[in-house]
Amino acid sequence: MIKAIFLAVAILVGTGMAAAAADRDIAYDFSFTAIDGGRLPLASYRGKTLLVVNTASFCGFTRQYAELQALWSRYRDRGLVVLGVPSNDFGSQEPGSEAEIKQFCEVNFAVDFPLTAKEHVAGANAHPFYKWSHEKLGPESAPHWNFHKILVAPNGAAVRFFPTMTSPLSDAVIGAIEPLLEKPEG
């Protein structure tokens, strides 16, 4: 009898774990906190192409904010969402508060694409989205520095990653994004 109870509990726990893993098969299963507060569920971008980028205001690659804004401006009407995820994980290059980060981005780069609150993107404390993308895209897909980019298809699947050195306006990034976008009218 005790053996049967343990088996039943093991099946229920195993089923629950499998269901939890199944619930996290696509990017839309994750949520961030918006830089202004409040929930920022990725499900609100369902059907869009996402480029999720961990950012930092005091990094040698901070100029990529301008490139990300240009990419967003160029393709947002065709379904691209650029999502900036400020992180202080690398070199402590994002020490400011959310209000300071938002002001820095708006004043210096005219950023109007969505930004999240500051998050961990690497290591054991990484946001669940980053753990998921690492699982889906492999070990090299984990951010190793600021301005690491993760591309998500309109169906929510992790498609590809681009390391820090890859410009958001590079042929590689644009070539990966364009086939995922809505066709232009005309």
Q: Which residues are catalytic?
A: 59
Q: Which of 42, 53, 41 is nearest to 82 (CA)?
A: 53
Q: Residue 79 in contact with residue 49, Cβ under 8 Å? A: yes
Q: In this structure, what are the phi and psi dihedrals at residue 55, rounded to the nearest 5 degrees? A: -120, 165
Exposure letters 158-171 (e unless 16+ CB within 10 A, then b): bbebbebebbbeee
State the Cα–Cα distance between residues 180 and 171, nearest whole angstrom. Answer: 15
